[in-house]
Amino acid sequence: MTGPDDVHATPVLDVRDLRRHFASPTGTVRAVDGVSLTIGPGEVVGLVGESGSGKSTVGRCVVRLDEPTDGRVVIDGTDVTTLSARAMRPLRRNVHLVFQDPSSSLNPRMTIRQIITEPIRLHRLAGRAEAARRVDELLRRVGLRPELADRKPHQLSGGQRQRVSIARALAVEPVLLVADEPTSALDVSVQASVLNLLADLQRERGFGCLFITHDLAAVEYLADRIAVMYLGRIVEQAPAAELFADPKHPYTQALLSAAPVPDPEEQRGRTRILLGGDLPSPLDPPPGCHFHTRCPLATDRCRTEAPELRTVPSAEDGGVPRQVACHLVAEDGTAPDAAHVPVTAGV
């Protein structure tokens, strides 16, 4: 986790005005439509939003599994946006992706030892004996017995396979880990153990992390800062504690109101914000603020003018400023409460 001095350090990830558009027979899908975010050394940034918001596409563009349509991705000071595959190869040591489903990301023909050794071998980081020692060490560190190294992925449980994925990602000591819904394919009983492992490893090794999820409880536990996406755009960014204590954007307010809390008495006293209408298609996003078709607070200005992501006062003096893209949030950060407005959007 970051300290107060880390916010001024050179970012391990700097994304500027990232766009990823896909051509389709019926038009252009604007999956990511102008996203900017940074991650400092040792910082965990959560990227949250509904399915279809574009958050996984941001992660794929960061690691160059998808090619950005426009914008810049700078990893540890190097702009990787237009690098060739050959030029990108040595830099892949700096960033690794942990996929949502470990079953589809681990080669079923390889043993666990071969899977974890592969990135060490490709980057020529150790000889055979040292690589074998490092694999045993990594397996122990992620909570697996070294004897499992000679098994294949199908012989392990889902939680064990995800731990192998994490061990493989950390084998080359990256400066940035992109974790794309790393617990959503796991049983609830093992999700917490994997999250605890990620938190422990991040504190121990100090890598930056882009944590992509729809699980608000997980992101509150793991992230230093949270960015909220809606239909390809970031609508709010803030330190995690501030975002949960005082959400500014009506969409963020609605998301948090839908998340259950462990205290039954507190849960009964909460007001659920019900959004009108359906999530618009990225093929034909609404004009102005993309959220206006579902927002109970929308005005005529919201329907015609897209709000800029702008800085508002933060409760953390000298810390990372919070940002919001909403015409209704005042310059001093005062925001209306969508929970006390009747739902009319989409009608």
Residue labelled with tokens 């980057």: 123
Q: What pLDDT band is residue 320 in, cutting at 50, 70 and 90?
A: low
At 11, give phi and psi (nearest 5°): -65, 150
- Residue 32 β-bridge partners: 20
What pLDDT is recorded for position 221?
92
- The answer to whether 29 and 207 are in contact (CB under 8 A) is no
Residue 212: CB atoms within 10 Å: 29
- Residue 138 β-bridge partners: none
Q: Is the model's pLDDT at 61 over the cut of 60?
A: yes
What pLDDT is recorded for position 346?
40
What pLDDT is recorded for position 143?
93
Query: Quick one: 347 exposed, middle or buried, by C-beta within 10 A (0-12, 13-18, 19+)?
Result: exposed
Q: What pLDDT band is residue 264 in, cutting at 50, 70 and 90?
A: low
Q: Is the model's pLDDT at 345 over the cut of 80?
A: no
Report helix, strand or coil for 13.
strand
Q: What pLDDT band is residue 3 in, cutting at 50, 70 and 90?
A: very low
Residues counted in the chain: 347
- The answer to whether 178 and 96 are in contact (CB under 8 A) is yes
- The end-to-end CA distance of the chain, in Å, is 44
What pLDDT is recorded for position 302?
96
Residues 6+ apart with CB under 8 A from 74: 11, 13, 14, 15, 16, 80, 81
CA 100, distance to chain mean position in Å, is: 12
pLDDT over 70 for what percent of the chain?
90
Report helix, strand or coil for 8.
helix
Q: What pLDDT band is residue 273 in, cutting at 50, 70 and 90?
A: confident
| Domain positions in the chain | 6-230, 247-347
What pLDDT is recorded for position 267?
54
What pLDDT is recorded for position 321?
77
Q: Is the model's pLDDT at 278 over the cut of 90?
A: no
Residues 6+ apart with CB under 8 A from 42: 1, 2, 6, 202, 206, 207, 208
Q: Is the model's pLDDT at 186 over the cut of 90?
A: no
What the block records as the tokens of 6 is: 């880390």
CATH code for residues 6-230: 3.40.50.300
Q: Is the model's pLDDT at 44 over the cut of 80?
A: yes
Report the distance separating Cα 206 and Cα 41, nearest Å. 7
Report the distance separating Cα 191 and Cα 172, nearest Å. 25
Please tell me the pTM assigned to this model.
Answer: 0.90
What pLDDT is recorded for position 228?
97
Question: What number is the average pLDDT over the span 336-342?
Answer: 70
Query: Quick one: 192 exposed, middle or buried, by C-beta within 10 A (0-12, 13-18, 19+)?
Result: middle
- Residue 19 β-bridge partners: 33, 70
Report helix, strand or coil for 233.
strand
